[in-house]
Amino acid sequence: MELVAQVFQACERTPEATAIVGSRGERMTFGALRDRALRIRDRLSAAGLARGDGVLYAVEPSPEAIAVALGVVAAGGVLVLADPGVPPAILEARLRLAEPRWVVAESRLYAITSLAPLRALVRRRGVLLPSLRDPLPGHGLCHAYTGRWLPGVPRHAVRLWGLEGPAPREYGGAEADSPVAVIFTSGTTANPRAVVHTQRSLAAGLEIFRDHFPVGPGDMVHADGLMIGLPALIGGAVWSMGPARVVARRPVTHLYCVPVEFAGLDAFPATLRTVMLGSAPAPPAVLRKALELPVEEVLSIYAMTEALPIALTGARDKLEHADGDLLGAPLPGVGVRFTEDQELVVSGPHLAGRYLGGPPLTEVATGDLVRMDDQGRLVLLGRKKDMILRDGFNIYPSLYEPAIAALPGVADAALIGIADETTGDEEVVLALVADRAVDARELREVVDSGALPDRVELLPEFPYSSRRKLDRAALRELIRRR
């Protein structure tokens, strides 16, 4: 059964039960979630949203945001998750690749990005937001908004707030291979890259998660992503949203978060039974902290945007494994193979349909060097690429270094990750050979918000190997000693 149908079926089973709790404690029942999503579907369809239309989605995580997302997909739309917070030039490049026909955003975001005083205010705080009224000049996009009308909302925008009237028509389903979401994983103005997931691939991924995280009525799952939150809803559990610190005040039974976020928590509810760590490697200190809790299970999840999930393992097994980072056995249905240099390549029904603008995917290289032990478990040996992981965000230095090095007065640029031994998170350091300091405003014009450096170091020169290739290991040690 495809994605939206599974969620709606769960809504029909327990319509009066709470489905989602938002970051501010706002609640939405299963019945209200289904009704809201179907009314949004009908409103958008009546306004001209057609099957396959891309929809730039700019709604802050909340119960309402999930209803809007389900409504868009039920109408046949494709969610374009391009992150309006990236530099305007990068956003425009992403949108030119995705070619959305619609923008669905909160009314306050329209106001902030359209009214000069508000735009100036957020710019002074270091945020460069493009105009959502015209994010792709010359394309004449259609608009819809959530929340009450505010100045800045386009005149002919479709109102999605306060929809009432006769009961909405039933959901008719969708084709398994129809696209659902376009997720940009990285890229610059010259080379944006996005993953296209379909009804089939997301439903397969959700099934894998549900098989290994059985939840049901009476459970509360705290997570910030769809791939954990939706299985919770389908199982009849409550999806808790918001920053991880709110779990101490809620009867959460299953907690999913990034290791660095878990490392900062100091209080947990007595109801907690399962801790799930993912989106980044979990270092020993974080695993030990989780194992000190009176919970039944602590799991580490290995996944990538193109294939969610790939493997999982228990925290104790991970700590006891001395030779490499234990990832666990490939989950049922996940195919794996290894290249000559030990890079892991994965396949399976949960694999994304394609990269935007590319051919259909049959497998995808992970960028990780991995071996399989004698028990059939995957063991991480290292990274093939110079990727940096911070707060669960993958940063590929080669995407940004040329643009930074092209700034006036800069002779050379390199982004380096310095790992924190306690949390496992990496500090992003921008090393420059330059005759002047580069300010934050300049960097925001050429670097994704998620890849902005934590600090900048000016050096007289960079260490290079005999082949004049940047010696990143030597540069990392040089920066550590400063």
Task: Answer yes or no: do 72 and 187 share one domain.
Answer: yes
pLDDT surpasses 90 at 93? no
H runs (alpha helix) in 271-415:
284-291, 315-320, 397-405
Domain annotation covers residue 6: no
Distances 121 to 71, 124, 128 between C-alpha atoms, Å:
33, 5, 10
Q: Assign residue 314 the CATH number of its domain.
A: 3.40.50.12780
- Pairing type for strands 27-29 and 18-21 reads antiparallel
Containing 476, the helix (H) or strand (E) segment is helix 472-480
**184 and 127 together in one domain:** yes
Q: How many domains does the chain have?
A: 3
| 305 and 439 housed in the same domain | no
Query: Is the pLDDT reported for residue 51 higher than 70?
Result: yes
Q: What is the mean pLDDT of the chain?
A: 89
What is the average per-residue pLDDT within 124-137?
69
Tokens of 417: 């990750």
CATH code of the domain containing 403: 3.30.300.30
Extract the tokens encoding 382.
Answer: 């290292």
- Residue 127, pLDDT > 70, answer no
Q: How does residue 126 score in pLDDT terms, banded at 50, 70 and 90?
A: low
Average pLDDT value for residue range 40-48: 97
Identify whether 201 is part of a domain.
Answer: no
pLDDT tens for 384-406 read 767 788 877 778 787 788 778 88
- Label residue 467 by pLDDT band (50, 70, 90): very low
pLDDT at 125: 56
Q: Taking Cα atoms as reference points, which of 400, 406, 408, 410 lies closest to residue 450?
A: 400
Asked if 375 and 408 sit in the same domain, the reply is no
Is residue 255 in some structural domain? Answer: yes
Q: Does 46 share its domain with 187?
A: yes
SS3 for 38? helix
pLDDT at 120: 60
Q: Are residues 252 and 369 in the same domain?
A: yes
The three-point CA angle 17-20-24 to 5° equals 125
Compute the distance between CA of residue 26 and CA of residue 18 in angstroms, rounded to an integer: 10
Give the CA distances from residue 75 to residues 20, 103, 127, 158, 196, in Å, rounded to whole numbers and listed in that order. Answer: 22, 14, 33, 14, 18
In the predicted structure, residue 40 carries a pLDDT above the cut 80? yes
Write down which residue in 162, 180, 196 finishes a domain.
196
pLDDT tens digits, one per residue of 205-263: 988 888 887 899 999 999 988 889 999 999 999 999 999 999 999 999 999 998 888 98
Query: Same domain, yes or no, for 321 and 470?
Result: no
The answer to whether residues 192 and 338 belong to one domain is no
Residues 295-334: b if buried by 16+ CB within 10 A, e if exposed: beebbbbbbbbbbbbbbbbbbeebeebeeebbbbbbbeeb
Same domain, 454 and 373: no
Q: Give yes or no for residue 115 having a pLDDT over 80.
A: no
Same domain, 372 and 419: no
Q: Which domain holds residue 408?
A: 388-480
pTM of the model: 0.83
Amino acid in position 244 = A
For residues 419-439, average pLDDT: 86
- Look at residue 225 and tell me if it is in a domain: no
Q: Which of 89, 59, 53 is nearest to 73 (CA)?
A: 53
Give dist(CA 194, CA 358) in Å, integer.
10
Do β-strands 254-257 and 274-277 pair in parallel, antiparallel, or remain unpaired?
A: parallel
Residues 38 and 137 in one domain: yes
Verify that 181 and 82 share a domain, yes or no: yes
